[in-house]
């Protein structure tokens, strides 16, 4: 088999299975399927919806527009707040934004008025990860101000964990979120949804370590890659597919070479000073993919006898010494990518995408 260029293959039936497994494992919790790691790929969004998610999460307006242009009508959440200058586009392509700044809410309110529609927000509070979110003491004043907006509906209270500060959800921070939501419900006089985080919240919620009032999660990595982002390991109690996404790249060179570069070592193309293990001469293959397309450290070869040695911008260097037959020129070598690698692969213009079992 010959492969023309690096190609991501997505098994849509496995995406759908993962979504369904998670929906069934979390009764009473509405799941927003986050498609941002795949740049809003409509085929993946539709597979998530077929698996039972109630809406889709995106961080980029371009990706949300891609979903709408493909005919996706499900609710779209912006899991990164839009800037005020993009409020009209946000209102056009999405239904909900996670917001912590009054200036952004005011811009969305004005845009919703121009569009003749109502628009939802989830007030996002920082409960320890120190990425986005207002500090808890700011929430009452924020809600009072937003309640005066003519075209905005306050749908709930939410938080983000693990993505920046690597803080995992636990009994303490999830209880804080639930308490803030309960106080907000008293303040506003109505029930609010409690959006308790992303894929790292699955395990504590399933184990009962999260308050019962958490009724919304935003799940991306668990659906697409089948792992807990806090550990990159399987989620206990769930038999999720971890190979729904694979990438293959064609071999463009295969030769026996020394394992140590020859000469004086300086910086590589990315400003690093590399180190090498002297393993004598070994057979090395080069695949047509590189750091412009992928994070090579997050590529796991499907064949465990292959070792990823490193990469430059456009070349992936592999140790294939243990293969019984050297790979032919043009032959594809397959890998399972991690989260950062998947993000880069879907962003790259130079990697083809194909979908199977849709």
The residues that are catalytic are 36
Residues 6 or more apart whose CB falls under 8 angstroms from that of 329 comprise 251, 252, 253, 254
- Count CA atoms closer than 13 A to 96's CA, side-chain side: 24
Tokens linked to 151: 């075209």
HSE-CB of 86 using CA atoms within 13 angstroms = 15
The H or E element that residue 327 is part of is none
Write the CA distances from 110 to 121, 217, 239, integer angstroms: 14, 28, 46
Cα distance between the two ends of the chain: 23
Cβ-based neighbours of 325, under 8 Å, separated by 6 or more: none
Helices (H) and strands (E) in the chain, counts: 10, 16
**Bridge pairing between strands 281-287 and 299-301:** unpaired
């Amino acid at each position: 088999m010959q492969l023309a260029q690096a190609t991501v293959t997505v098994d849509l039936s496995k995406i759908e299975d993962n979504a369904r497994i998670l929906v069934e494992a979390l009764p009473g919790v509405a799941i927003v399927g986050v498609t941002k790691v795949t740049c809003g790929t409509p085929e993946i969004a539709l597979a998530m919806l077929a698996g039972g998610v109630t809406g889709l999460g995106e961080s980029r307006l371009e990706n949300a527009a891609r979903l709408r242009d493909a005919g996706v009508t499900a609710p779209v959440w912006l899991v990164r707040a839009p800037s005020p200058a993009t409020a009209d586009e946000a209102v056009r392509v999405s239904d909900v934004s996670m917001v912590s700044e009054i200036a952004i809410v005011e811009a969305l309110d004005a845009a919703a008025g121009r569009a003749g529609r109502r628009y939802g927000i989830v007030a996002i509070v920082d409960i320890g990860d120190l990425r986005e979110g207002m500090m808890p003491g700011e929430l009452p004043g924020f809600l009072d101000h937003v309640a005066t907006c003519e075209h905005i509906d306050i749908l709930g209270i939410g938080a983000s964990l693990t993505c920046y500060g690597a803080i995992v959800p636990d009994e303490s921070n999830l209880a804080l979120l639930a308490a803030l939501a309960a106080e907000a419900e008293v303040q506003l006089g109505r029930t609010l949804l409690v959006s308790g985080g992303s894929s790292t919240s699955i395990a504590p919620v399933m184990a009962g370590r999260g308050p019962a009032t958490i009724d919304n999660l935003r799940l991306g990595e668990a659906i697409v890659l089948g792992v807990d982002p806090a550990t990159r390991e399987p989620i206990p109690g769930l038999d999720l597919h971890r190979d729904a996404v694979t990438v293959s790249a064609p071999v463009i060179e295969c030769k026996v070479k020394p394992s140590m570069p020859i000469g004086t070592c300086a910086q590589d193309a990315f400003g690093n000073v590399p180190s090498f293990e002297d393993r004598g001469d070994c057979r090395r293959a080069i695949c047509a993919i590189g750091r412009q397309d992928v994070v090579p450290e997050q590529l796991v070869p499907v064949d465990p006898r292959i070792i990823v040695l490193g990469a430059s911008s456009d070349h992936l260097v592999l140790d294939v010494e243990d293969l019984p037959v050297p790979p032919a020129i043009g032959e594809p070598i397959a890998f399972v990518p991690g989260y950062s690698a998947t993000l880069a692969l879907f962003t790259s213009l130079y990697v083809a995408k194909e979908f199977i079992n849709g």
